[in-house]
Amino acid sequence: MTDPGPVPGSGPVRRGFEFDSDRLDAYLRRQLPGYSGPLEVAQFEGGQSNPTYLLSTPARRYVLRRKPPGRLLPSAHAVDREYRVISALGTTDVPVPRALLLCEEDDIVGTAFYLMEWVSGRIIRDPGFPAVAPADRPAHSEAIVDALARLHLVDVHEVGLEDFGRAGGYVARQFARWSKQYLEDDAAGRVDAMDRLVEWLPTRMPEADETCVVHGDYRCDNLVFHPTEPRVLAILDWELATLGDPLADFAYYLMVYRMPEAGVPGLAGRDLRALNLPGEEACVEAYRGRAARDQGQGASRNGRRGAGAPVCGEGRAAGRTGLGAGRAGHARLSVRPLPAAGVRSPSRGCPRRSARCRPAGARSAARREPARRRRS
């Protein structure tokens, strides 16, 4: 039976995001094994990029993520990529919701969507963990790092994600894209410190980077914790996932230590000792241990590499620098000028750079193929 309690963060479907729930109910009766209605629909707060809904039936709950309504860029809001990555990771020890069904038809809810299981637990939006007992806060912080390390250790070949993005050059591509947008946005104005950073970063690009699945938006409020235990049950919001550098993904999470408490809550300026939270260096040390980043540990989880870049698990033998290679908790990386990596500095101009409806059980043969237009 469905848990009768309310689901925090869900409420009535917002204006402009409605769809015909009767049509969806009829579709799920045909396509989803074990499904039975009637169906009630609510919408989760947030999720403006890919609207997210709670589907409730007398027997169980589901979560639906769809492309937003309206005119969209061809490559934007790729819910099929989200579905693919959580389907693949569902065969590993990475905590993800179970993927159930992908529908690329527009005539069911108005846009393409996928369905996954609803994971009951806590979404903690403040990394200071105010609702968690102080004695339990370090374990919650460690659970966050542990889940990310598990993701970065996945063998992309074993789960069929070796073509989920480009291998190698991730940091240089990210810099080129975002600095180009900054430099070309005259209406937004310029910041002297940012201009200096744009000039300095090309001289500090990593000499080589690893390739693994990266989340792209890993932070505390994109996780579902166990209702009572310091354990991550599911990583959510995979819209930005791709193949990239694990250190860049981890560094994005570490921004929580540099962000202020206002807006998207961070830990900058807060008394971590009083909160009984580990500091940034302790967090780095925890990741280094869990992600097997000690020098001298050369275990390889992936046997191939692309474009000269090691895939996660390779290149960790003695001599490969990584987290903890310098001062405790700090990374020491070999660097080279950005032009040497085949990317021009933005100051000199940056380069530009399936099945229609199927249940999760039908994904294995299709996930390595380009999506084809096919009706169920």
Token code pair at residue 292? 């097997």
Q: Which two tokens stand for residue 247?
A: 């250190």
| pLDDT tops 80 at residue 18 | yes
CA R_g for the chain: 22
- Long-range pairs for 234-240 at CB < 8 Å and ≥24 separation? 234/95, 234/96, 234/97, 234/119, 234/121, 235/94, 235/95, 235/96, 235/147, 235/151, 236/97, 238/81, 238/82, 238/85, 238/86, 239/49, 239/50, 239/77, 239/78, 239/81, 239/82, 240/215, 240/216
In angstroms, the CA 226 to CA 238 distance is 20
Going by C-alpha positions, the residue among 180, 178, 267, 274 that lies closest to residue 219 is 267
Distance (Å, rounded) from C-alpha 102 to C-alpha 104?
Answer: 7
Hey, what are 331's tokens?
Answer: 């990374």
Specify the CATH superfamily of domain 134-343.
Aminoglycoside phosphotransferase (APH), C-terminal lobe (3.90.1200.10)
- pLDDT given for residue 4 in this prediction: 59
Which pLDDT tens digit goes with each residue over 98-132? 999 999 999 999 999 999 999 999 999 999 999 99
Give yes or no for a contact between 290 and 261, defined as CB atoms under 8 angstroms apart: no
The confidence score (pLDDT) of residue 8 equals 84
Side chain identity at 139, as an amino acid letter? Answer: A
Residue 288: is its pLDDT beyond 50?
Answer: yes
How far is Cα 374 from Cα 24, in angstroms, rounded to an integer? Answer: 19
Select 10-118+355-362's CATH number: 1.10.10.60, 3.60.15.10, 3.30.200.20, 3.40.120.10. Answer: 3.30.200.20
**pLDDT tens readout for residues 167-186:** 989 999 999 999 999 999 98
Where residue 165 falls among pLDDT bands split at 50, 70, 90? very high
Q: pLDDT tens digit string along 304-327?
A: 333 444 555 443 332 223 333 332
Average pLDDT of the residues in 53-59: 96
3-state secondary structure of 179: helix
User: What confidence score (pLDDT) does residue 9 get?
Assistant: 85
pLDDT at 264: 80
Distance from C-alpha of 182 to C-alpha of 177, rounded to nearest angstrom = 9
pLDDT tens across 81-91, in order? Answer: 999 999 999 99
Q: Quick one: which of 28, 77, 74 has its CA closest to 52?
A: 77
Length of the chain: 376
Q: Please answer whether residues 36 and 57 qualify as being in contact, where contact means their C-beta atoms are separated by less than 8 angstroms.
A: yes
Among the listed residues 17, 100, 3, 107, the one whose alpha carbon sits nearest the alpha carbon of residue 56: 3
Confidence of residue 76 (pLDDT cuts 50, 70, 90): low
**Residue type at position 204:** R
Domain coordinates in residue numbering, the chain: 10-118+355-362, 134-343
Given this model, what pLDDT does residue 302 score?
44
